[in-house]
Amino acid sequence: MSAPFASPDGERSLGPMAFPSPDTRNPVILPDGTTHAGTVFLSAAIDHPRWEVGAYSYASAHRPPEDWAAHLAPYLHAHAPERLRIGRFCQIADGALFVTASANHRRDGASTYPFAIFDGMDPARPSLRVGPTPDTVIGHDVWIGARATILPGARIGSGAIVGAGAVVGGAVPAYAVVAGNPARVVRGRFDAAAVARLLEVAWWDWPIDAVLAAEAEICSGDVAALAARTPP
């Protein structure tokens, strides 16, 4: 990665910069030397008891929010029974939304109206009994496109790509590309044997120096070459 540095005469030029730590809130450096407020490493930007987010996963927004947790998952309150679990090296585009299980209303009766939220929020009230509240789980190296909506309890496998505007519920296989409403698998990124090998290699768990050293192989489609770079 390169970032601008100031020369003795005050002019800026491009030079090497160490890859940012995952606890860096705004990891993107603009050409004028300032940080890009609209891109954050989520592990640094979110402090919420119901979020679990891995290192180097980032989100972007054209209008940066004050509260990234509420911006991305507005129904995931601190007292919610479910969790939002996001792996390492995920990429979340502007407008993506996680609708977690606490957003659900009862659907088994004559009305879906949540009477109790206007009258004390007693969890024993009949209108709040919505059944299981499953976690929403995003694997590693998942790219979630602009304005995609991830529904309660979705499970998205590592390496998957979620198309812009997709509405995703249920399970998405690892290294699948999904799009549409409801989201459907458009294609697989690799064949089954290659997917199994990629999940075994699990480059996202490597030390960051090993990841950066293998950048060319990670960004190529040569699974064997990537496997050969696995640290001892």
Q: Read off the tokens for 8.
A: 């003795």
Nearest-angstrom CA–CA distance, 156 and 172: 5
Contacts of 146 (CB under 8 A, 6+ apart): 93, 94, 95, 96, 164, 165
Nearest-angstrom CA–CA distance, 145 and 58: 12
Buried b (16+ CB within 10 A) or exposed e, 77-115: eeebebbbbbbbbbbbbebbbbbbbbbbebeeeeeeebe
Q: Name the 3-class secondary structure at 224.
A: helix
Nearest-angstrom CA–CA distance, 155 and 176: 12
Nearest-angstrom CA–CA distance, 142 and 57: 9
User: How far, in Å, are 29, 69, 120 from residue 124 at the CA level?
Assistant: 50, 27, 11
Residue 77 is among the residues annotated as catalytic for this protein: no
Catalytic pick from 62, 77, 79, 105? 105
* Element at 192 (helix H, strand E): helix 192-201
User: How far, in Å, are 83, 100, 143, 206 from residue 79 at the CA level?
Assistant: 10, 13, 28, 34
Query: What are the residue numbers of the active site?
Result: 105
